[in-house]
Structure 1
Amino acid sequence: MFKRKRDNREWRETQRAAQEMMQWADRQPDPTSTPQQDPDPTAVDDFLPPDLLSASQGELAGMMMPWRGQLIVDGEVRTCPQCGADRDWMILSTRGLILLRCHAGHETPEPALDTVWFNRNSGPMEHRHTTLEDGLKYFGH
């Protein structure tokens, strides 16, 4: 008796899953109606929708965010080459470059990071600052 109920329940769940899959397939566009273009393999999805991205680069000199813990890039902990600091970074994004600034004020370019990484990790911009020093003071750096 219990086996029959379990079999009926499994059959209903399978039918429900198949029905949901068919409804999903019905909502998809017909691939034969419009020609599909292959996406550019060099293009990188910026992850954030346009309304969450900051203003255009023409309006901003750059953006910054604090990174209080250790910064691990490609499996390695980044350290400041001048003073050896390994945490409490200020990450600056300007003109397509990412710069790491330690608490002592040493700036180091980080070629392994890019603006897409910055946008994914920074979150929405909360404040605008007229100078780099104002921004650093705001973040207590």
Structure 2
Amino acid sequence: MFRRARADREFREAQRAGQAMLATPTEWPLPETPGPLAEAAPAAPETAVVPDFLPPDFRAPSRQDFSGFMMRWDSPLVIDGEVRECPECGAYRNWIVFNMRDDTIWLRCRAGHETKETGLDTAWYNRNSGPVDHFHPTLEDGLRHLGH
């Protein structure tokens, strides 16, 4: 019985201390308020340029800054249950898959034959490609990086 009364008393004291802490900011004086809005400086013209958050050197490139993206696809490419083959040489593996700026997908075989693939789209490319690890100034540099 005495333990419970002591616990209740300690709980009430803690509640009072918490209430006192919450009431303290209401007793502080209000900060000085600025003058009327009419005395404020005139608003900036609507054509004012707002500085960007990051300087241009630190910005990530936009998708529109590139002609397209490419990735390797070493295994056979199966689309709608069919294995895709190069229409010119019959190769069916070791593709380079291009995702162009206009959202078309192109396939390039090891022999350098390129063909537009209508069975794939940008969503497929995004699901199957990894993160961009290199940016290349030319197509040849990108192909060399991917081993073609």
Distance 1:55 1:121, change over 3 A: farther
Residue 123 of structure 1 deviates from its aligned partner by 1.4
Q: 2:88 aligns with which of 63, 71, 82?
A: 82
The CA deviation string for residues 44-99 of structure 1, in whole angstroms up to 9 with x for no partner, is xxxxxxxxxx8433211100000001000000000000000000000001021000
Partner residue of 1:64? 70
Q: Quick check: 1:121 aligned with 2:116?
A: no
Residue aligned with 1:84, SS: coil
Residue aligned with 1:125, SS: coil
Unaligned runs of 5+ in 1: 1-53
Instruction: Give the share of equivalent positions with the same residue, in percent.
Output: 55
Q: Quick check: 1:132 aligned with 2:126?
A: no
CA distance in 2, matches of 1:96, 1:88: 22
Any runs of at least 4 consecutive aligned residues in structure 1 with deviations exceeding 4 A, and if so which? none
Unaligned runs of 5+ in 2: 1-59
CA distance in 2, matches of 1:77, 1:71: 6
Distance 1:55 1:72, change over 3 A: farther
How many residue pairs are counted as aligned between the two chains? 88
Residue 140 of structure 1 deviates from its aligned partner by 0.8
Greater RCO, 1 or 2 (C-alpha within 8 Å, sep 6+): 1
Q: Quick check: 1:97 aligned with 2:104?
A: yes
CA distance in 1, matches of 2:95, 2:61: 23
The CA deviation string for residues 3-42 of structure 1, in whole angstroms up to 9 with x for no partner, is xxxxxxxxxxxxxxxxxxxxxxxxxxxxxxxxxxxxxxxx
Partner residue of 2:116? 109
Structure label with greater radius of gyration = 2
CA distance in 2, matches of 1:116, 1:77: 20
CA distance in 2, matches of 1:83, 1:65: 21
TM-score normalised by length of structure 2: 0.57
CA distance in 2, matches of 1:103, 1:65: 13
Residue aligned with 1:100, SS: strand
